Amino acid sequence: MHKVIIVTGGSRGIGAATAQLAAQRGYAVCVNYLNNAAAANAVTKLIRQNGGEAIAVAADVASEVDVSRMFDLVDNAFGTVTALVNNAGILERQMRVEDMDAGRLQRVLRTNVIGCFLCAREAVRRMSTRLGGAGGAIVNVSSGASRLGSPGEYVDYAASKGAIDTLTIGLAKEVASDGIRVNAVRPGFIYTDIHADGGEPHRVDRLKERVPMKRGGEAMEVAAAILWLLSEEASYSTGTFVDVTGGK
Ligand code: NAP
């Protein structure tokens, strides 16, 4: 089967590492991004230089129109998607719940939760053997925050990842007999740009001593877990979680 993957938020961080590793494993890769075309094009260029197939597609995962258009584009470019990585996610400035306004809460929940639902919906419509598809696999990128709650930093973000955990459990059961596996990874403190968005670029270095392994994680270490969950080696795993947190 021709392996076709969509990695949302594939332009930077964990998504970019996942896109690269997927290409090395033989997937044709759709590198989704929101604004940073230069970063997305750098990822696709590297994949093509190494003999792989990749396209960069701008789409806001929280927009139903954008998501439908992206999946249609992939249908035309590579054929039916066989793997989805729901990786795009955001957080905002560190603050306590008492200071959060509705606009912030809506932005975080729209991207992190509705975005995953919309992409999962389009993937299921194409993959489900009940609907004439050939099956597939979905990995949602949750966070260790769903267990820890991120007090004083971003409880809204942590709660959005709690929703992703529940989506993973529920959707996995819903489509288990339709040839689709749905799993999640929960990264811990990983060196990416996301911490600067929270107002603390060096957050991982501040917190790494609290990690049993005493270090932050690399995006490629998360990508490796994602690709394993997508692979046939994980053929009897669905509705489950791989924590990539250095033991935290
Ligand atoms: P990152 O470096 O900040 O990259 C975020 C990516 O998401 C970028 O490619 C960005 O695109 C894209 N994006 C943001 N909003 C989007 C939208 N509405 N539609 C489409 N794409 C969008 O983030 P990261 O640290 O790699 O995080 C990736 C995932 O891992 C997130 O779900 C995050 O919650 C989760 N995670 C990260 C950590 C960590 O420590 N880094 C820990 C636990 C979980 P542009 O380049 O166009 O902006």
**CA atoms of 71 and 62, how far apart (whole Å):** 14
Question: What residues are annotated to the active site?
Answer: 157
Helix extents (H) in the chain? 13-24, 37-49, 64-78, 102-109, 115-127, 145-148, 155-175, 194-197, 203-207, 219-230
Residues paired with residue 241 on neighbouring β-strands, in sequence order:
184
What separation in Å is there between the alpha carbon of 163 and the centre of ligand 1? Answer: 17
- How do residues 125-180 score in pLDDT, each as one tens digit? 999 999 999 999 999 999 999 999 999 999 999 999 999 999 999 999 999 999 99
From the CA of 103, how far away is ligand 1's center (Å)? Answer: 19
pLDDT the model gives residue 244: 98
Residue 23: pLDDT band with limits 50, 70, 90: very high
DSSP label of 237: -
- Residue owning the nearest CA to atom 2 of ligand 1: 13
The two most distant CA atoms of the chain are separated, in Å, by 51
4: confidence class by pLDDT, cuts 50, 70, 90: very high
**Is the model's pLDDT at 1 over the cut of 90?**
no
| Tens digit of each residue's pLDDT (9 = 90 or more) over 88-127 | 999 999 999 999 999 999 999 999 999 999 999 999 999 9
- For a substitution probing ligand 1, which of 93, 194, 243 has the most ligand atoms within 8 Å of its CB? 194
Is residue 40 over pLDDT 80? yes
- List domains and CATH numbers for the chain: 4-244 (3.40.50.720)
Q: Does the beta carbon of 13 sit less than 6 angstroms from any atom of ligand 1?
A: yes
Find out whether 225 and 242 touch, Cβ atoms under 8 Å. yes
